[in-house]
Structure 1
Amino acid sequence: MSEHDVYQSVAEAAGDGVRQDRVPPVVAVVGRPNVGKSTLVNRVLGRREAVVEDVPGVTRDRVSYEADWSGRRLTIVDTGGWLPDATGLAAAVAEQARLAVELADVVLFVVDATVGATDVDEAVVDILRRSGKPVLLVANKVDDAATELDAAALWSLGIGEPHPVSALHGRGSGDLLDAVLAALPEPPPPTEDAAGGGPRRVALLGRPNVGKSSLLNKLAGENRVVVDDVAGTTRDPVDELIELGGRTWRFIDTAGIRRRYRESQGADFYATLRTQSALERAEVAVVLIDASQPLAEQDLRIISMVIEAGRALVIAYNKWDLLDEERRHYLEREIDRQLHNARWAPRVNISALTGRHVDKLVPALDTALAGWGSRVPTAKLNQFFSALVAAHPHPVRGGKQPKILFATQADVRPPRFVLFTTGFLEESYRRFIERRLREEFGFAGTPIDITMRIRERRSSRRK
Structure 2
Amino acid sequence: MSTGNWVEADLDELDVTEETADSTPLPVVAIVGRPNVGKSTLVNRIIGRREAVVEDVPGVTRDRVTYEANWRGRRFTVVDTGGWDPDATGMNLRIAEQAQIAAELADVIVFVVDATVGATDADEIVGSILRQSGKPVILTANKVDNQQIEMEAAALWSLGLGEPHAVSALHGRSSGDLLDVVLEALPETPAVTFGDKRGPARVALLGKPNVGKSSLLNKLAGQERVLVDPMAGTTRDPVDELIELGDKTWRFVDTAGIRRRDRELQGADFYAAMRTRAALDRSEVAIVLIDASEPLTEQDLRIISLVIESGRAMVVAFNKWDLVDEDRRYYLEREIDRQLVRTPWALRVNISALTGRHMDRLVPALEKALDSWSTRVPTSRLNAFLTDLVHATPPPVRSGKQPKILFATQASTEPPKFVLFTSGWLEDTYRRFIERRIREEFGFAGSPIEVTMKIREKRQKKDR
Q: Please tell me the TM-score bracket, short chain as reference.
A: over 0.9
Q: Which runs of 4+ in 1 moved over 4 A?
A: 2-7, 13-17, 190-195
Q: Is 1:14–1:412's contact at 8 Å kept on the other side of the alignment?
A: no
Deviation at residue 430 of structure 1 after TM alignment: 1.0
Q: How does 1:358-397 map to 2 (within 5 A)?
A: 358-397=359-398
Distance 1:458 1:27, change over 3 A: same
Equivalent in the alignment of 1:8: 11
Report the secondary structure of 2:14's partner residue.
helix
1:142 has 2:144 as partner: yes
Q: Is 1:7–1:408's contact at 8 Å kept on the other side of the alignment?
A: no
Q: Is 2:288–2:304's contact at 8 Å kept on the other side of the alignment?
A: yes
Q: Is 1:19–1:196's contact at 8 Å kept on the other side of the alignment?
A: no
Equivalent in the alignment of 1:68: 70
1:412 has 2:413 as partner: yes
1:269 has 2:273 as partner: no
Equivalent in the alignment of 1:247: 248
Report the secondary structure of 2:69's partner residue.
strand
Q: Distance in 1 between matches of 2:216 and 2:70?
A: 31
Deviation at residue 46 of structure 1 after TM alignment: 1.5
Distance 1:4 1:339, change over 3 A: farther
Q: Distance in 2 between matches of 1:52 and 1:101?
A: 21
Query: What do residues 93-128 of structure 1 show as CA deviations (whole Å, max 9, x unaligned)?
Result: 111101111111100000000000011111111221
Amino acid at match of 1:324: D
Q: Distance in 2 between matches of 1:112 and 1:363?
A: 49
Deviation at residue 16 of structure 1 after TM alignment: 5.1
Report the secondary structure of 2:289's partner residue.
strand
Deviation at residue 83 of structure 1 after TM alignment: 1.1
Q: How does 1:264-413 map to 2 (within 5 A)?
A: 264-413=265-414
Query: What do residues 9-59 of structure 1 show as CA deviations (whole Å, max 9, x unaligned)?
Result: 8x8265556444532211100000000000001111121110000110000
TM-score (norm 2): 0.95
Q: How does 1:19-168 map to 2 (within 5 A)?
A: 19-168=21-170
Q: Is 2:238–2:253's contact at 8 Å kept on the other side of the alignment?
A: yes
Q: Is 1:418–1:453's contact at 8 Å kept on the other side of the alignment?
A: yes
The size of the alignment, in residue pairs, is 459
Question: Which deviates more from structure 2 when the two are superposed, residues 163-172 or residues 391-400?
Answer: 391-400
Distance 1:423 1:193, change over 3 A: closer
Deviation at residue 179 of structure 1 after TM alignment: 0.3
Mind listing any 5+ residue stretches in structure 1 that lack a counterpart? none
Percent identity for Structure 1 against Structure 2: 70
Q: Is 2:21–2:193's contact at 8 Å kept on the other side of the alignment?
A: no
Deviation at residue 265 of structure 1 after TM alignment: 1.3
Distance 1:405 1:69, change over 3 A: same
Question: Which deviates more from structure 2 when the two are superposed, residues 20-29 or residues 291-300?
Answer: 20-29
Amino acid at match of 1:256: G
Mind listing any 5+ residue stretches in structure 2 that lack a counterpart? none
Q: Is 2:203–2:283's contact at 8 Å kept on the other side of the alignment?
A: yes
Q: Is 2:27–2:77's contact at 8 Å kept on the other side of the alignment?
A: yes
Q: Distance in 1 between matches of 2:131 and 2:329?
A: 54
Report the secondary structure of 2:342's partner residue.
helix
Q: Is 1:20–1:197's contact at 8 Å kept on the other side of the alignment?
A: no
Alpha-carbon RMSD: 1.8
Question: Which deviates more from structure 2 when the two are superposed, residues 134-143 or residues 391-400?
Answer: 391-400
TM-score (norm 1): 0.96
Deviation at residue 6 of structure 1 after TM alignment: 5.0
Amino acid at match of 2:138: L
Q: Is 1:7–1:410's contact at 8 Å kept on the other side of the alignment?
A: no
Distance 1:49 1:81, change over 3 A: same
Deviation at residue 3 of structure 1 after TM alignment: 6.0
Q: Is 2:20–2:195's contact at 8 Å kept on the other side of the alignment?
A: no
Q: Is 2:396–2:427's contact at 8 Å kept on the other side of the alignment?
A: no
Equivalent in the alignment of 1:442: 443
